[in-house]
């Protein structure tokens, strides 16, 4: 047993740190620090382009498709360093979700057409999974695609689509066989967002932001060549995709960054005439969450180590998701408490103020999306504890 990173891994970490420090544009970094998302689409594309030009566009892809071919430990270190430097996230929808499905199940033509444009940031992808009546019970989805010559005709409605207002493409689960059992009649379609009949309608969230949409499909004609794999086999691909979504699902990088921010905030804020950080109750709360994060970091490394040796990946990811989201939510709560009444301010440019309060509300989503934490507990009970 040895919990230290190897000399190679430490050298890699330092290389990433140095690269991000010199190549992350200051204006993007400042907006990420302030939580200013007015230019988010442009910022994300620019950062993706910078990473791509350095050969780091896809940390989680194999080298044959232009990825870095890094192992999970390096992906983990890369993630942490990017967060620590206030780099924008790389959206998962193209890189981590649809790309692995295309690599595994797509045709050669689909690989050649879509993967390079994901890698260099040309195409922005979004997700068409959930529907108003199909959240945790995804297989009950109703959006249907009917074959008409060399096209599918898609009708229905998707919900909780993230940032689709900027997207060029959407990958969708659609029902192609209404008579089959729910899981057997689903197909995986790639749809150009410019196709006539698609309407994107914002869903205003409690933090006031436009982050998610409802997407309506009204006789949308999709070429058959955009079907991934086989018709009615989409559920298999959907589950495969969800497995890949779990890379770095513990969100250690984000939690570390926000914990550091929390400590700075508690150092500046005053209570009873002294820094809030001197308050033993508040400092104990920080210590508690820091310890929980420390335990999760080691747990995450244990899972990475086991996966590298092909020891049962899978259900452990549910634990990383639950604990990771609970911890980040807790840190966010403490940021609000550090601000006290200043957190009431819901607009303007006060340092940390609108960011913290908006983020607190926004991050409630963490325990809901990607398989709610209740679903994750079901998975642990059934897959790990064999109940």
- Catalytic residues, by residue number, are 245
Name which of 6 and 203 has its Cβ closer to other proteins. Answer: 6
User: 15: how many CB neighbours lie within 10 A of its CB?
Assistant: 13
Closest distance between other proteins and the C-beta of residue 139, in Å? 19
In sequence order, what are the residues at sequence separation of 6 or more whose Cβ sits closer than 8 angstroms to the Cβ of residue 25? 46, 47, 50
What are residue 375's phi and psi, to 5 degrees?
A: -60, -40
Q: How far is the CB of 60 from other proteins (least distance, A)?
A: 19
7 binds other proteins (CB under 8 A): no
Q: Which is nearer to other proteins, 199 or 264 (CB)?
A: 264
- 11 near other proteins (CB under 8 A): no
Which listed range, 125-133, 152-160, 334-342, 375-383, lies at the site for other proteins (CB under 8 A)? 375-383
Q: Give the footprint of other proteins on residues 295-314 (CB under 8 A).
A: 295-299, 301-302, 304-306, 309
* Sign of the dihedral through C-alpha 32, 37, 39, 43: positive
**Smallest distance, other proteins to C-beta of residue 329, A:** 15
CB of 73 to other proteins, least distance (A): 6
378 sits near other proteins (criterion: CB under 8 A): yes
The sign of the dihedral angle between the CA atoms of 33, 36, 39, 40 is positive
Under rule CB under 8 A, which residues in 48-87 are in contact with other proteins?
A: 73
Q: Applying CB under 8 A, does 380 fall inside the site for other proteins?
A: yes
List 62, 208, 267, 340, residue binding other proteins (CB under 8 A):
267
Do residues 184 and 199 lie in contact, with contact meaning Cβ atoms separated by under 8 Å?
Answer: no
Biggest alpha carbon–alpha carbon distance for the chain: 75
Q: Does 32 bind other proteins (CB under 8 A)?
A: no
CA atoms within 13 A on the CB side of 360: 19
**Under the criterion CB under 8 A, does residue 263 sit at the interface with other proteins?**
yes
User: Least distance from C-beta 289 to other proteins, angstroms?
Assistant: 10
Q: Is the dihedral of CA 288, 290, 295, 299 positive or negative?
A: positive
Rama region for 153: left / alpha / beta (φ>0; ψ in -120 to 50; rest): beta
Distance from the Cα of residue 367 to its chain's centroid = 13
Structure tokens at 117: 């444009």
Per rule CB under 8 A, is residue 136 in the interface with other proteins? no
203, containing H or E segment: strand 198-203
Rounded to a whole number of angstroms, the distance between the first and last alpha carbons of the chain is 31
Is 333 a binder of other proteins (CB under 8 A)? Answer: no
- Contact between 323 and other proteins (CB under 8 A)? yes
- Contact between 286 and other proteins by CB under 8 A: the answer reads yes
d(CA 160, CA 345): 27
* Least CB distance to other proteins at residue 206 (A): 26
Question: Strand, coil or helix: what is 245?
Answer: coil
Where does this chain touch other proteins (CB under 8 A) — which range of 133-141, 168-176, 228-236, 286-294? 286-294
Would you tell me which residues interact with other proteins (CB under 8 A)? 1-6, 9, 73, 263-264, 266-267, 277-278, 280, 283-284, 286-288, 290-292, 294-299, 301-302, 304-306, 309, 319, 322-323, 374, 376-378, 380-382, 384-387
């Amino acid at each position: 047993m040895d919990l230290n990173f190897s000399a190679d891994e430490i050298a890699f970490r330092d290389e990433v740190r140095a690269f991000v420090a010199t190549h992350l544009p200051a204006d993007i970094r400042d907006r990420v620090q302030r939580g200013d998302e007015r230019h988010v689409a442009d910022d994300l594309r620019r950062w993706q382009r910078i990473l791509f030009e350095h050969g780091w566009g896809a940390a989680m892809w194999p080298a044959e498709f232009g990825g870095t071919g890094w192992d999970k430990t390096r992906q983990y270190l890369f993630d942490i360093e990017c967060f620590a430097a206030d780099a924008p996230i790389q959206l998962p929808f193209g890189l981590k979700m649809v790309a692995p499905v295309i690599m595994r199940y797509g045709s050669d033509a689909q690989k050649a057409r879509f993967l390079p444009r994901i890698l260099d940031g040309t195409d922005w992808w979004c997700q068409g999974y959930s529907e108003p009546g199909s959240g945790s019970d995804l297989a009950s989805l109703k959006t249907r695609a009917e074959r008409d010559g060399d096209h599918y005709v898609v009708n229905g409605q998707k919900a909780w689509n993230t940032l689709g207002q900027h997207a060029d493409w959407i990958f969708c689960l659609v029902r192609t066989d209404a008579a089959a059992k729910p899981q057997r009649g689903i197909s995986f379609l790639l749809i150009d967002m410019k196709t006539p009949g698609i309407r994107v309608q914002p869903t205003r969230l409690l933090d006031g932001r436009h982050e998610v949409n409802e997407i309506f499909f009204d006789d949308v004609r999709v070429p058959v060549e955009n079907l991934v794999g086989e018709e009615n086999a989409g559920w298999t691909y959907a589950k495969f995709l969800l497995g890949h979504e779990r890379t770095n699902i513990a969100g250690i990088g984000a939690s570390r960054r926000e914990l550091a921010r929390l400590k700075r905030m508690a150092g500046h804020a005053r209570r009873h005439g002294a820094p809030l950080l001197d308050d033993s109750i508040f400092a104990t709360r920080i210590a508690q969450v820091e310890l929980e994060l420390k335990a999760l970091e080691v747990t995450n490394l244990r899972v990475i180590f086991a996966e590298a040796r092909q020891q049962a990946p899978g259900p452990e990811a549910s634990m990383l998701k639950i604990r990771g989201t609970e911890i980040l939510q807790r840190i966010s709560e403490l940021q609000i408490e550090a601000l006290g009444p200043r957190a009431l301010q819901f607009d303007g440019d006060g340092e940390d103020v609108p960011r913290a309060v908006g983020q607190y509300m926004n991050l409630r989503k963490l325990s809901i999306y990607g398989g709610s934490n209740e679903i994750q507990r079901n998975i642990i009970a059934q897959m790990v504890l064999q109940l």
